């Protein structure tokens, strides 16, 4: 579910240089307005069909008939028809008169490509109360489209929502409603509406259009709604796992938040597991925060992967020095693991000692031992709880302990909370066997 609440919509400026996103955030395309079609019922019925059930006033019939004859004639005399319409409108008395007059306006509006006249005709028919219940959704939808095209956003929203309320399930009216908010710079309202509609579909077990999620990301990101952008991107990665969707979800967090080196490390570890380290900067940042002096094994692995991917230049001074330092420390670092574990298990050990042992084991892919060390650290005074819980969850994910990991990530608060939420999504995908690294892009 998209966790969208009003207190999560404050705009947050992106700090520093931003990490590139894969989604085309600069695009101005909307969620889609389909081609206009005449409502199926907005057609002239024969007098034989109408006589038993319609109540037309005599004055209206007298005004309507000659203009209707002109409408049926070929070629049409548009000037004569236009001249006669005011008389028809002035003669309206009954609801049936209003519906018939509206039908005439709509039909002539289509013939003469006068969208304002079409709008007025549809409004009259809807307001007459004579539109059959089974056709009301179509009428409102078409009226909403016309209002949208006229940039009458509030009316468009009202008519389109009426179409939804009347049971319209095709033609994507919810997407257009969201766009009416965005067109008025009502970003918070539009994002909330879009999130609510997505959540409804998820709850009903229905498919969600990936375009909806991309639009939510785009609007939220471009207008600096940090938590909303993160929520849409997280849902996108969850529902459509691919390198780009995961890369965007991670990049959005990096662009909106000021993460320290250790927080960034855990976010980039997720990028590595989802195959979404996709630029030289990603690898350089990963190598820097892993630190060849602290986690040499992880640095060597990152350099090797980046070089194989063609994204890291091994002759770059920073890369070459990091690799040299990491390799020089690798054997000794691995040899120290047993001693680190013994020290962590001592009753007198500190939170720092136990967490450091967990970090070392985690960096070498020894998830079971890392889990034990982090569990010990949690029982010590002075533990950096968000950091240790995040890494405990990672160790559990790496072992396939999905439910345990999700429960652990749910306890993470503060600056690491969005990182933990992304890891929780990954835990679910890994458990379901979703091949994140090779999933088809949307």
Q: Going from the N-terminus, what domains does the chain have, and what CATH number goes with each?
A: 1-30+179-258 (no CATH), 47-171 (1.25.40), 261-438 (1.25.40)
pTM above 0.75, yes or no: yes
pLDDT of 212 higher than 70:
yes
Minimum mean pLDDT range among 9-23, 165-179, 361-375, 407-421: 9-23
Residue 433's pLDDT is: 82
Confidence of residue 171 (pLDDT cuts 50, 70, 90): confident
Q: Three-state DSSP class for 11? A: strand
User: Which tens digit of pLDDT belongs to each residue from 215-231?
Assistant: 999 999 999 999 999 99
pLDDT of 26 higher than 70:
no
Residue 436's pLDDT is: 56
Residue 224 φ/ψ region, left for φ over 0, alpha for ψ in the -120 to 50 degree band, beta for the rest: left
- CA separation for the pair 83, 79 (Å, rounded): 6
Q: Is the previous residue joined to 75 through a cis bond, with omega within 30 degrees of 0?
A: yes
Residue 315 CA, chain-centre distance (Å), reads 40
Q: How far apart are the first and last CA of the chain?
A: 19
Question: Which residue reads 């016309």 in tokens?
Answer: 146
User: Which tens digit of pLDDT belongs to each residue from 62-103?
Assistant: 999 999 999 999 998 999 999 999 999 999 999 999 999 999
pLDDT of 381 higher than 60:
yes
Residues 336-349: what's their mean pLDDT?
97
Residues 421-432: what's their mean pLDDT?
96
- Label residues 110-134 b or e (16+ Cβ within 10 Å = b): beeebbebbbbbbbbbbebebbeee
Minimum mean pLDDT range among 73-82, 274-283, 385-394, 426-435: 426-435
H or E element, residue 186: none
- CA separation for the pair 121, 131 (Å, rounded): 12
> In 3D, which of 103, 23, 19 has the Cα closest to residue 56?
103
Compute the CA torsion angle 289, 290, 296, 297 (nearest 10 deg).
-150
Residues 292-316: what's their mean pLDDT?
96
For the record, the structure tokens of 160 come out as 């389109």
Residue 291, CB-side half-sphere exposure with 13 Å CA sphere: 10
Residue 194's pLDDT is: 97
User: Which tens digit of pLDDT belongs to each residue from 220-277?
Assistant: 999 999 999 999 999 999 999 999 999 999 999 999 999 999 999 999 999 999 999 9
């Amino acid at each position: 579910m998209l966790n969208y609440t009003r207190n999560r919509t404050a705009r947050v400026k992106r700090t520093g240089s931003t990490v590139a996103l894969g989604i085309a955030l600069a695009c101005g395309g909307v969620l889609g307005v389909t081609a206009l079609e005449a409502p199926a019922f907005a057609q002239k019925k024969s007098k034989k069909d109408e006589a038993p059930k319609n109540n037309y006033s005599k004055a209206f019939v007298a005004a309507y008939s000659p203009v209707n004859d002109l409408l049926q004639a070929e070629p049409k005399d548009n000037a004569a028809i236009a001249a006669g319409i005011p008389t028809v409108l002035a003669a309206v008395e009954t609801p049936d008169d209003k519906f018939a007059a509206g039908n005439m306006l709509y039909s002539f509006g289509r013939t003469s490509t006068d969208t304002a006249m079409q709008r007025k005709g549809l409004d009259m028919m809807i307001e007459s109360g004579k539109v059959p219940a089974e056709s009301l959704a179509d009428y409102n939808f078409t009226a909403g489209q016309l209002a949208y095209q006229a940039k009458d956003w509030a009316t468009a929203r009202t008519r389109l929502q009426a179409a939804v309320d009347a049971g319209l399930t095709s033609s994507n009216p919810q997407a257009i409603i969201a766009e009416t908010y965005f067109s008025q710079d009502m970003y918070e309202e539009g994002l909330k509406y879009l999130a609510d509609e997505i959540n409804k579909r998820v709850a009903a077990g229905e498919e969600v259009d990936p375009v909806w999620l991309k639009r939510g990301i785009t609007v939220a990101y471009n207008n600096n709604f940090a938590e909303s952008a993160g929520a849409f991107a997280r849902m996108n990665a969850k529902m459509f796992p691919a390198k780009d969707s995961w890369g965007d979800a991670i990049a959005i967090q990096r662009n909106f938040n000021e993460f320290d080196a250790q927080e960034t490390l855990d976010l980039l570890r997720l990028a590595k597991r989802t195959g979404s380290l996709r630029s030289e900067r990603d690898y350089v940042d990963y190598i820097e925060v892993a630190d060849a002096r602290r986690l040499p094994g992880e640095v060597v692995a990152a350099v090797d992967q980046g070089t194989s991917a063609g994204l890291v230049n091994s002759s770059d001074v920073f890369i070459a020095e990091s690799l040299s330092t990491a390799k020089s420390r690798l054997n000794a670092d691995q040899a120290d693991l047993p001693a680190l574990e013994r020290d962590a298990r001592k009753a007198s050990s500190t939170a720092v000692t136990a967490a450091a042992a967990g970090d070392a084991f985690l960096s070498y892919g020894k998830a079971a031992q890392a889990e034990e060390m982090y569990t010990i650290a949690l029982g010590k005074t002075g533990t950096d709880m968000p950091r240790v819980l995040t890494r405990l969850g990672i160790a559990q994910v790496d072992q396939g302990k999905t439910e345990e990991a999700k429960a652990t990530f749910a306890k993470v608060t503060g600056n690491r909370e969005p990182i933990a939420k992304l890891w929780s999504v990954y835990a679910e995908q890994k458990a379901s066997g979703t091949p994140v690294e090779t999933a088809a892009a949307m």
